[in-house]
Amino acid sequence: MSRQSVRTRTAVQAVQDTSIRLERRGADVAGEMFRAVLLLCIVVGIVMLGTLLAYVTWRGWPRLDLNLFTQMPSSINLDTAGFLPAIVGTVWIMVGVLVTVVPLGVSAALYLEEYANNDRWWNRAIEVVIQNLAAVPSIVFGILGLAFVVRSPLALGPVAFAGSLTLTMLVLPTVIIASREAIRAVPSTLRQASIGLGATKWQTVWHQVLPTSVPGILTGTILAMSRAIGETAPLLLVGATTFVQFLPNGPFDGAYTAIPVQIFQWVVRPQEEFRVLAAAGCLVLVVLLLLMNSVAIWLRARFSPES
């Protein structure tokens, strides 16, 4: 069936459905009601978002003090307990994610956009695998990290870098997909001019394509990092301990925890004080993510082709 026939069929169907009503115009009551229902659909989500933010702020406000950022977690001194080890742990984890996922993701995107011949079945297979990987449940990555990174063959043990590698695998598809879009948006005239001047394929990619697509790649990377920062489930499996009373020595040594894992541990405890701490932690996490997302959105708007 040709592409034209689908469009034509849809259009003809629309004409047949609508032409009967052309005689009686007047006030379009059904149309207005439909519009109201649609508006309601979008408002549901936004009202819930507002409620969530208001609730977390209201509950967490009393404990949003300096102690939260500078103190160790405690189950005795709840009024001054903080989550400093979780902040340090999250920093270590995210540095590990950043240095592994960016080279890997951008390289994969360059291969798929600049070098891969789409007539080859293996290149199409790689694309399907990446798409599927993007929708694999995060806890499955936790199982993978537990089996391969914490235990043999990598056998890193429950250290921060094991968490990093697990999250890297989790957000790799996000970085690849975003980078591919950025690379695809580079005008082909740029490549042709470069190659016409005698540059090799890689010189063209390295000196022309990559610098031009940096804003898009950066946006995708920030969004991927903001997803990784909020992930809890996979870290529970790869050894992020819920109660760490000391600072981790580095990415390869000692027990670690992360901000969402610490919040999770506070949520499961029934006492009121822990709920307040959890709310304060949620607030910190949400503000951090809002900042990261704003930077990404700003970058996208600043460098989008329309502006």
Residue ranges in 74-113 that form contacts with other proteins under rule CB under 8 A? 103-105, 107-108, 110-112
Q: How far is the CB of 212 from other proteins (least distance, A)?
A: 18
For other proteins, give the closer residue by CB, 90 or 249.
90
Please choose, out of 66-74, 88-96, 140-148, 156-164, the segment that lies near other proteins by the rule CB under 8 A. Answer: 140-148
Query: Considering the complex, what minimum distance in angstroms separates the CB of residue 86 from other proteins?
Result: 12
- The angle, 0 to 180 degrees and rounded to 10, between the axes of the packed helices 272-303 and 29-60 is 120
- Find residue 253's DSSP bridge partners: 250
CB nearer to other proteins: pick between 137 and 250: 137
Only one of the segments 77-85, 136-144, 182-190, 245-253 lies at the binding site for other proteins (rule: CB under 8 A); that segment is: 136-144
Is 55 or 250 the residue whose CB approaches other proteins more closely? Answer: 55
216 contacts other proteins (rule: CB under 8 A): no
Q: Which of 39, 155, 193, 214 binds other proteins (CB under 8 A)?
A: 39
Q: Which 257-296 positions form the footprint of other proteins (CB under 8 A)?
A: 260, 263-264, 267-268, 275, 278-279, 282, 285-286, 289-290, 293
**Interaction residues for other proteins, span 184-213 (CB under 8 A):** 195, 199-202, 204
Count of residues of this chain found to bind other proteins when the rule CB under 8 A is applied: 102
Is 155 a binding residue for other proteins by CB under 8 A? The answer is no
Q: Which of 68, 84, 94, 144 binds other proteins (CB under 8 A)?
A: 144
CB 85 within 8 A of CB 246: yes
Nearer to other proteins, 112 or 162 (CB): 112
